A and B are shown apart, each in its own frame.
Chain A
Amino acid sequence: MTATVPPPPVLQPGGRVLAAASDTVVPARRGRFRTRTVAAAMVVATVVAYLLFRTDGAADSSDAAAFRFFDSVRDWVDANRDTSPFFLYGLNYVRLGVRLLVDAVQAALTGLGFAGLVAAVAAIGTVLAGWRTGLLALGGFLAFGVLGLWEQSVDTLVLTVSAVLLSVLIGVPLGIFAARVRWVGATLRPVLDVMQIMPTFAYLAPMTLLFLIGEPAAVIATMIYAVPATIRITALGISEVSPTAVEAATALGSTRWQLLSKVRLPLARTTIALAVNQTIMLALSMVVITALIDAPGLGQNIVNALQRVNVGAAFDAGLAIVILAVVLDRITTNAARRTGVHRSRRQRQARWIFVGAGVVVVAAAALVSIDPENVPGYSFAAPVNDLVGWIELHWYDVTEGLKNGISAGVLDPLETVLVTTPWWLFVVAVAAFGTLISGWRAALIAALAAAGLAGLGLWQHSMQTLATVLVAIVLTMAIGVALGVFCARHDRLATGVRPLLDAAQTMPSFVYLLPAVALFGASRFTAIVAAVIFAVPPVVRLVERGLRDVPPTVVEAALSAGSTPRQLLWKVQLPMARGGLLLAANQGIVMVLAMVVVGGLVGAGALGYDVVAGFSQRELFGKGLAAGLAIVLLGILLDRLTQGFHTSKGPRR
């Protein structure tokens, strides 16, 4: 098979497939002028309407119809869990099946023992991705023993592997369907959109309701979080298979099944391997959060550290997660890269010898029993805690001043304005501005989401969360664009920063709360800081790429016309990279929302707190579930409004 392999698709950090590289469309001059006038008029109208109709921002009732409804659902489920056929023959079997899968994976991995598992991962790395990766895997897994986190790391690996197996089992066939059958693809798209906007946190309460607590619920939640990436990227791979190859095979008389198994799947191999890679990364970040519903593993260490405000302990666990992520990522990306390379027969034979040798080594290692507790240990906990203590002592005034300044100067006024806006005015404003920015379809969805927030009876909390998100996204964009511009201009800096960005993106959102809490205590500003740290890396990346994609001829033309570097940046590069910047804003805002909500764990209040309280206090369950739904609606609203930025300006693919 010598047909050209398609280049890997462009992926957003969350595993969302980008529509297309930015088309630079220059809008018509007159149209733009009119849009500006309309926008200005609308801003004035909104301000006047606000001043006329503003309310006193009454607190949310604690007894809205939606809360009572969810409470009654909970009571029904509780009463019928072991009698209703829906549970007896449906969900309980799902739970049991997943339990069996987890047990089987657990038995396989722990059965190998410490030496055996380390050898096995190193061997898999070597065979699939080359000796360098094998060595990395060996070092990485040994490090778990050194950090004294072997058992927890294996538990996390077990849950991740189980969830990834399920995702691939469900996601790949669905992806193929979505690519081949038009209506399946069309129905799936909005569902996947919602699944990907939904912050991880909002999943947990419904999961415990249906599947109780424990590993099965954790694996299912993780699967739901990761599977959209599997489906999307697989579908993309299948639909990008070159039509010439398909036609040639058809001309030779292939059946539909042969077309799929001999042409489409092999040609989409690289992309599907990439889908698996993305699925693993997403699953890993979710598995850690499921510690809140009794999943074992490294997440438990982080929850524990969060409760004791012990940054050092969390640092060790966070480091283990990053190592696990890097090892799994390297193995799968390098393996994916290799699937695209054509091999000679000799090479294939050599590979089989490798595999044989690997099996022998692993089998031998599995027989050696080393207690991972006997590995010489090292923990970063003490030095990290010392550092944090020092910063707390010496920077107290600075951190406190920063927190109070931003809270009182920006956050509070914004919150007041949003909370005192009557809900109907907000809906109208969303619809009007949405139409202007993203077209009426997106605006309609956003306005419906806004109305839904009011309907759930969580208006005040939704607006408080929105205010926090807006402040955080402004900070994220300011820092992200500045860093991105810097990286785009200085190649050496960019190469230096890249591994840092990589590591930052594999870290689960949870981990970022700790340093923020240690520095700023329990407050909304803490959530903002964590959200900024969480969302800046992808923004830097997208901005840098946007700037580098500006055609060199344009840059040269500007330079020869006598532009100063500053003019070049502000008048040429940034305007031309507009697509990349707006995409970064869209991506950043979804991530910021996810993190601000997790901030509910550390005093950020509002919707995030409602969700946390909902699954820790029985009488607040309904409110918590409603808050979860409100977060999803808020996510859809923000995503639709900002997605319009880049899709309405160019043809959508």
Chain B
Amino acid sequence: MRTLRTAAAAALIVSLTACGGATSGAGEDEPSAGAKGTVNLAINPWVGYEANAAVIAYLLEKKMGYTVEKKELKEEIAWQGFETGEVDTIVENWGHPDLKKTYIEDKKVAVEVGPTGNQGVIGWYVPQWMVDKYPDITDWKNLNKYADLFKTSESKGKGQFLAGDPSFVTNDEALVTNLKLHYTVVYSGSEAAIIKAAQQAAAQTKPLLFYFYEPQWLFAKEKYVRVKLPEYKDGCDADPKKVACDYPDYVLDKIASKKFADGNSTAYQLVKNFKWTNDDQNLVSDYITNQGMSDEQAAEKWVNEHEATWKPWIPAGS
């Protein structure tokens, strides 16, 4: 495979010299069109995404005979991969209208492949015990009153708002500024770090105001309450610097590279047919995070127990 590719690339170089110039994606693997080749699956850094990817990868490899190459990439970098051919598909995309415009409309290197069936919610949350003790904390107008509770070593004398990975979809800094809140946004760096902080906050009754989202397995174990921000209206988040409203609800969807979609392989069709519920995803995420299973074991367990769900995804004749 590799030697073949080298030879092909060498041939490519020769032909390109003849007709003038190399394009940016020259020499990369062509996606598996028709034949059962390799599928390059981007892995974005949160466990819900990992759950989608685990099940899709398991079905592709074990039920359909493909090879799956998983790539740990942040959201925007994964989109760049459509251009180079490093990435064939993203299997849980949160909105990203700007990226859709760049890569789908302008560059025409990617296409939408329809919803995953998961409903996405992003919001600001506090642990349940805080709502019991300070009932009016769930209104953003009262957040300044409680800012002192959230002080930490990192919050520069204001309250701390704990955010996640810098690559996640966020308007938090703009919200803090535009709603005139006495808070500092501190980035924990990963989903795992927010979850850990959230668990500690619930277990040790420590104050915490944090960025969180559904689908999320943790909601099945602990109660957290969403803080009401000014209501979302269409277009209120158009300018990322002037956002002063809550996050919209997201219909999570799948994206594929143009080449992968045009090839219309059975692998592409599986990705296209893939559709499940938040409960399904939370179940697999729980297996991965709390039951010490690897992605593959978790997917295997889910696949064995939910044949009715995934059977229709497998395209005919594969």
Contact = CB atoms under 8 A, between A and B. Distances in A.
A43 interface: no
B73 interface: yes
Given A81-B24, A100-B6, A307-B45, A616 B167 contact: yes
Given A62-B241, A214-B28, A615 B20 contact: no
A369 interface: no
A214 B84 contact: yes
B167 A100 contact: no
B190 A521 contact: no
A107 B3 contact: yes
A524 interface: yes
B86 A294 contact: yes
A293 interface: yes
Interface stretch (B75-83, B119-127, B132-140): B75-83
B10 A307 contact: no
B192 interface: yes
Contacts of B12: 96
A399 to B, nearest CB: 12
A294 B28 contact: no
Interface stretch (A280-288, A533-541, A598-606): A598-606
B99 interface: yes
Interface stretch (A82-90, A117-125, A370-378): A82-90
Contact of A99 (B9, B77, B186, B193): B9
Contact of B77 (A294, A407, A517, A523): A294
Contacts of B156: 412
A88 B22 contact: yes
A424 interface: no
Given A87-B24, A103-B2, A294-B73, A214 B189 contact: no
A245 to B, nearest CB: 44
Interface stretch (A298-306, A356-364, A573-581): A298-306
B9 A96 contact: yes
Contacts of B24: 81-82, 87, 92, 95, 212
A651 B152 CA distance: 50
Contacts of A601: 189
A366 B25 CA distance: 33
B98 A618 contact: yes
A404 interface: yes
A525 B153 contact: yes
Nearest to B26: A96
Q: Which of B2, B10, B166 has the most CB of A within 10 A?
A: B166
Interface string A546-583: 00000000000000000000000000000000000000
A300 B72 contact: yes
Main secondary structure of the interface of A (DSSP, over half): helix
B6 A107 contact: yes
A291 B83 contact: no
Interface string B50-82: 000000000000000000000111111100110
B81 A294 contact: yes
A374 B208 CA distance: 47
Contacts of B76: 615-618
A616 B154 contact: no
Nearest to A302: B72
A613 interface: yes
Contact of B187 (A93, A103, A605): A605
Contacts of A62: 241
Interface string B1-15: 011011001101100
A308 B196 CA distance: 10
Interface in A370-409: 403-404, 407-408
A412 B62 CA distance: 55
A258 interface: no
Contacts, number: 164
A100 B21 contact: no
Interface residues of B, number: 55
B136 to A, nearest CB: 29
A92 B28 CA distance: 12
Contact of A612 (B22, B25, B107, B166): B166
A293 B165 contact: no
A46 interface: no
A521 B50 CA distance: 23
A609 B6 contact: no
Contacts of B240: 619
B197 interface: yes
A408 B166 contact: no
B191 interface: yes
Contact of B23 (A92, A412, A602): A92
Interface string B28-46: 1000000000000000010
A85 B22 CA distance: 9
Interface string B223-246: 000000000000000001100000
Interface string A91-105: 011011001100110
Contacts of A214: 28, 81, 84, 86
A93 B188 contact: no
B80 A208 contact: yes
B263 interface: no
A106 interface: yes
Contacts of A615: 74, 76-77
A92 B21 contact: yes
A522 B9 contact: no
B7 to A, nearest CB: 10
B2 A106 contact: yes
Contact of A95 (B16, B21, B27, B187): B27
Nearest to A303: B72
A23 interface: no
Nearest to B193: A522
A627 B256 CA distance: 32
B6 A103 contact: yes
B309 interface: no
A154 to B, nearest CB: 12
A601 B80 CA distance: 21
Interface string A618-639: 1100000000000000000000
A62 B76 CA distance: 20
Contacts of B191: 307
Q: Which of A93, A103, A104, A307 has the most CB of B within 10 A?
A: A307
Given A294-B71, A609-B166, A616-B167, A100 B23 contact: no
A78 interface: yes
A270 B86 CA distance: 41
Q: Which of A111, A308, A310 has the most CB of B within 10 A?
A: A308
Interface in B86-106: 86, 98-99, 102
15 contacts: A78-B107, A81-B23, A92-B23, A96-B9, A99-B28, A100-B9, A104-B6, A213-B84, A307-B72, A307-B190, A517-B193, A524-B154, A603-B188, A613-B166, A617-B166
Closest 6 CB pairs of A and B: A88-B21, A616-B167, A407-B153, A92-B22, A522-B188, A613-B166
Interface of A: 62-63, 78, 81-82, 85, 87-89, 92-93, 95-96, 99-100, 103-104, 106-107, 110-111, 208, 212-214, 291-294, 296, 300, 303-304, 306-310, 403-404, 407-408, 412, 517, 521-525, 601-603, 605, 609, 612-613, 615-619
Given A100-B9, A106-B2, A111-B3, 20 more contacts: A82-B24, A85-B21, A87-B21, A89-B20, A89-B22, A93-B22, A95-B22, A96-B27, A100-B6, A103-B2, A213-B77, A291-B72, A294-B71, A306-B190, A307-B165, A308-B190, A309-B196, A617-B167, A618-B99, A619-B98
Interface of B: 2-3, 5-6, 9-10, 12-13, 16, 20-28, 45, 47, 71-77, 80-81, 83-84, 86, 98-99, 102, 107, 152-154, 156, 165-167, 186-193, 196-197, 240-241
